[in-house]
């Protein structure tokens, strides 16, 4: 082979390698800007949630604990969305099958092998809360709703990198990674809580240990030793498809329930704006039967009254 062809062949091979790896050269800050702005809308899809904590210590909670949910959702304008989420709650060597569903007119919960229907007054209360939230954030997509609440990764991500392309549920996405400025993230979460609370809870109450919210925030900032985020946004539509959050936490001074924990949060929306089939559970039992069962397990779940209130 002529020596002069070697550089040409090497360049061609490098091009093929980068193409196979799904390289993407878009500016990561520009990708975030496009993802967390605009009027992109998500009306249906499949939600996947995986929340876990590997807890170390001698407290009452030890080892891995987790919540996993998976299922379709469909939003009809400003009406209460339909959804059918099923999954598991696991911890302390026990695993329970759980779930929640809505037809838009009725609400249901799943526990183990039985499904239970919420009292209609209770479901109407959830609908009113949803209506209020919708009026505040009308026209927002998943990323836009977060930004409207004040949760904006553009403010608290540091060392942002474009890691190239990645597949999420069969969709080509751009993977953006970064380290978390925990203090700024806590500020954003505080804003989200304040915007979602009523006037009474907007005041700065002490927690059960007598700490103010400011003291609590400082303790959390010190407890989170490191945190990293991965964001996956559609290559073509810049719709947020997945968020993965990983944090190493140590117990604040005086905390006795645990010593340290590796916390992971993985949230995905698949099949975006594709038709979803959601049906009403058959032969659902009254929710009060589940409340009685959970109280027997030592869980303080209230019964629903005829006017939608919850009693112990």
* Domains of the chain, earliest start first: 28-69+141-281 (2.50.20), 79-137+282-312 (no CATH)
Of 2-6, 133-137, 151-155, 258-262, minimum mean pLDDT range: 2-6
What pLDDT does residue 166 have? 97
What pLDDT does residue 220 have? 81
| Confidence bin at 243 (pLDDT 50/70/90) | very high
What pLDDT does residue 191 have? 65
Q: Does position 159 have pLDDT exceeding 90, yes or no?
A: yes
CB 77 within 8 A of CB 69: no
- Between residues 26 and 195, the one the model is more confident about: 26
What pLDDT does residue 31 have? 95
| Confidence bin at 47 (pLDDT 50/70/90) | very high
- Mean pLDDT over 33-44 rounds to 85
CB 221 within 8 A of CB 186: yes
Spell out where 93-251 has E strands. 94-102, 107-111, 114-117, 157-168, 171-180, 224-234, 240-250
Q: Does position 124 have pLDDT exceeding 80, yes or no?
A: yes
Taking all residues of the chain, what is their mean pLDDT, rounded to a whole number?
80
What pLDDT does residue 244 have? 96
CA gap 168, 240 in Å, rounded: 10
Report the predicted TM-score, pTM, of the whole model to 2 decimal places. 0.78
Of 93-107, 156-170, 197-211, minimum mean pLDDT range: 197-211
CA gap 305, 303 in Å, rounded: 6
| Confidence bin at 203 (pLDDT 50/70/90) | very low
Element of type H or E holding 7: helix 6-20
What pLDDT does residue 196 have? 53
């Amino acid at each position: 082979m002529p020596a002069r062809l070697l550089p040409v062949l090497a360049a061609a091979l490098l091009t093929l390698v980068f193409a196979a790896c799904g390289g993407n050269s878009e500016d990561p800050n520009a990708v975030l800007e496009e993802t967390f702005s605009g009027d992109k809308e998500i009306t249906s899809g499949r939600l996947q949630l995986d929340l876990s904590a590997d807890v170390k210590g001698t407290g009452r909670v030890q080892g891995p604990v987790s919540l996993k949910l998976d299922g379709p959702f469909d939003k009809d304008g400003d009406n209460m969305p339909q959804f059918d989420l099923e999954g598991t709650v696991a911890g302390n060597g026990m695993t329970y099958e759980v779930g929640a569903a809505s037809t838009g007119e009725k609400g249901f919960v799943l526990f183990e092998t039985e499904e239970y229907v919420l009292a209609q007054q209770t479901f109407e209360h959830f609908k009113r809360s949803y209506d209020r939230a919708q009026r505040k954030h009308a026209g927002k997509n998943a990323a836009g709703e977060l930004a409207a609440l004040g949760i904006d990764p553009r403010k608290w991500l540091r060392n942002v990198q474009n890691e190239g392309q990645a597949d999420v549920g069969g969709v080509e996405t751009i993977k953006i990674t970064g380290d978390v400025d925990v203090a700024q993230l806590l500020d954003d979460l505080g804003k989200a809580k304040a915007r979602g609370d009523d006037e009474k809870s907007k005041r700065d109450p002490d927690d059960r240990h007598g700490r103010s919210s400011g003291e609590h925030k400082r303790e959390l900032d010190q407890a989170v030793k490191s945190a990293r985020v991965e964001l996956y946004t559609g290559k073509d539509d810049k719709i947020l498809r997945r968020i993965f959050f990983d944090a190493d936490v140590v117990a604040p001074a005086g905390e006795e329930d645990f010593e340290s924990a590796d916390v992971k949060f993985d949230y995905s929306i698949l099949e975006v704006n594709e038709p979803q089939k959601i049906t009403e559970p058959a032969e659902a039992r009254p929710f009060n039967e589940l409340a009685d069962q959970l109280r027997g397990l030592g869980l303080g779940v209230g019964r629903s009254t005829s006017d939608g209130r919850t009693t112990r």
